[in-house]
Structure 1
Amino acid sequence: MRIGVTLGLLHPGIWRDFAVEADRLGFESLWVPEHLVFTSNVGESRYPGSADGTPPVSPDAHLFDAPAFLCSIAGATERIRLGTYVYLFGLRHPIIGARAFGTLDVLSGGRAIVGVGAGWLAGEYEALGLDFATRGRRLDEAIAVARRLWTEPVVDHSGEFYSFEGVHFEPKPANPPIVAGGESKAALRRAVRLCDGWVSMPHTLESAKPQLDLLDRLLAEHGRDRSSFEVTVSAFETRGPEELAEWEALGVDRLIVRPYERTTGSIERLRAFAEEYGVSRG
């Protein structure tokens, strides 16, 4: 079982030191949250990660360009993989998003994991003059464009949202994996159709099972199976090391954990978790 750790809830001032310690301890991956902007009407959008839909964020929260911040972390770490949880690829022109992750992948020596999602905050799209209702289609097209830019020598593209000709994109990254986030059927279908895997919102063993069953059905419908698809589940409330075997039995490849509740003492909690769970790179 591969075990990654999220930087969510931590003050950004500690991200780099936390990442260095996670790398030293043997955590397989590090995941940074991502938003471009928050808006004053953030409370009007339903957040899919809470029971009542209330967003757990403040409009004045500090935000950073996630791939850029991960480039800084890449320079201070050696082996830990670096992922976004999740990057709103459809908010940017795909050439811009592809360049950001291409840079991260090259500078980190092929350690980038491109976690993408459509997003839930309408005001974030409206601030950029984009139609929130088209976010899913924008993301689908952006994923397809990025893959071509990372693998083809010259790209011409004519789509619903983006069109360009004769684009050369160098240097090529090491074709970083794209994993789609989201809990809706549309999000899981996007992961199956266009991506290398799926990354969930927080789950317990019990709540994850229906989603994993749906995922298996969608994979079968598209002629795929788990052997060519990576399943990452956020498990922020694990009950002990013995639970890892149960996640493995469900076919989960990676858990993202959050062994802390606040910034103060978080590195000590990270060390304690690594010792209790026998963390090592998968």
Structure 2
Amino acid sequence: MKFGITLARANPGIWSTLTQRADELGFESVWIPEHLVLPANISGSPHHGAEHPPIPPQTPVFDALNYLSFLAAQTSSIRLGTHVYNIGLRHPFVSARAAATLDVLSAGRLEFGIGASWLREEWDAVGWDFDTRGARVDEALEICRALWTEPKVALQGRFFSFDEVMFEPKPVQPGGPPIHVGGDGKAALRRLARYGDGWIPMNHTLDMLPASLRTLDELWIEHGRLGRPQVTMSYTVTSRDDVERLADAGVDRAIVDPWQRTSGALDGIARFADEIMSKM
């Protein structure tokens, strides 16, 4: 089992120190949340059954790939993930360039978590159609993969059209950074089978995972993919039994936040490393 920490539940003032300490303690990865803009009036939620948005619009938001480049310069081995990057809200040239830059500067440590987004008002602010976001995300991923792997790329697509371009430098990781697709429905699983390397379920319980993984296995084979995708899941881990339950359900990486308040974050990850990770 790999263990990552999320920065979402810590004050940004401690993100750098927390990441450096996690690197020293042997955590495999650190994950940063992402939005392009937070409209003043937000409705809905990405969580099933939740009536209110999980974040207030005045929440500080940073450019995720830019911030991870800053963290890359202060660490040596911890991997750097987005949880998740709203790739459909940018031109794919912008996303591909930022991701490739981080991958090069970090010596190949980017884990590129992406999502189709849940916040309609954010899409309205950008001026793009929320209802076609899935197709736009698919086309953006296709372009990014091509830019990262092919010497020349041209496309006449539904959303993006351009004559032949060249894109250097390529990412350090062969084929580009691993793409982890966030989402729960069959559209997300299909997107993963076509373009991704890993899955980030957002609203799944452990009991729900096996059925979805069976569907994903079928789609994976249908698209001629070899091996299997990684499964990354946010989970509250308090014991070795929790780790075994995650592994039995098919989870490869747990993203944890073993603290209640920012003031306890450094002690929390040290305790987690001692009580959980050292026993693995």
TM-score bracket, shorter-length normalisation: over 0.9
User: Deviations along 1:209-248, whole A, 9 cap, x unmatched?
Assistant: 44334333433443446x332111221x224122222322
Give me the whole-angstrom Cα distance separating, in 2, the residues matched to 1:96 and 1:146. 9
Aligned length: 277
Native 8 Å contact 1:204 1:238 kept in 2: no
Q: What's 1:267 paired with? A: 266
The Cα RMSD (Å) is: 1.8
Q: What's 2:113 paired with? A: 115
User: Deviations along 1:161-209, whole A, 9 cap, x unmatched?
Assistant: 1111221111111221111001122112211221111112265433434
1:66 to 54, 64, 67: 64
Q: What's 1:34 paired with? A: 34
Native 8 Å contact 1:26 1:279 kept in 2: no
Alpha carbons of structure 1 residues 253 and 126: separation in structure 2 relative to 1, 3 Å? same
User: Deviations along 1:120-176, whole A, 9 cap, x unmatched?
Assistant: 001111111111111111110000100111111111111111111221111111221
Alpha carbons of structure 1 residues 128 and 147: separation in structure 2 relative to 1, 3 Å? same
Partner secondary structure for residue 256 of structure 1? strand
Q: Is 1:81 aligned to 2:79, yes or no?
A: yes
Partner secondary structure for residue 201 of structure 1? coil
Partner secondary structure for residue 36 of structure 2? coil
Q: Is 1:252 aligned to 2:262, yes or no?
A: no
Structure ranking higher on relative contact order (CA contacts 8 Å, 6+ apart): 1
Give me the whole-angstrom Cα distance separating, in 2, the residues matched to 1:208 and 1:48. 18
2:141 to 128, 140, 143: 143
TM-score of the pair, normalised by structure 1: 0.92
- The amino acid across from 1:240 in the alignment is S
Q: Is 1:132 aligned to 2:133, yes or no?
A: no
Q: Any unmatched runs of 5+ in structure 1? A: none
Q: Any unmatched runs of 5+ in structure 2? A: none
Q: What's 1:105 paired with? A: 103
Shift of 1:266: 0.8
Partner secondary structure for residue 265 of structure 1? helix
- The amino acid across from 1:10 in the alignment is A
Native 8 Å contact 1:98 1:149 kept in 2: yes
- The amino acid across from 1:170 in the alignment is E
Greater displacement, 156-165 / 104-113: 156-165
Shift of 1:41: 1.9
Q: What's 1:205 paired with? A: 206
Greater displacement, 1-10 / 93-102: 1-10
Give me the whole-angstrom Cα distance separating, in 1, the residues matched to 2:37 and 2:158. 25
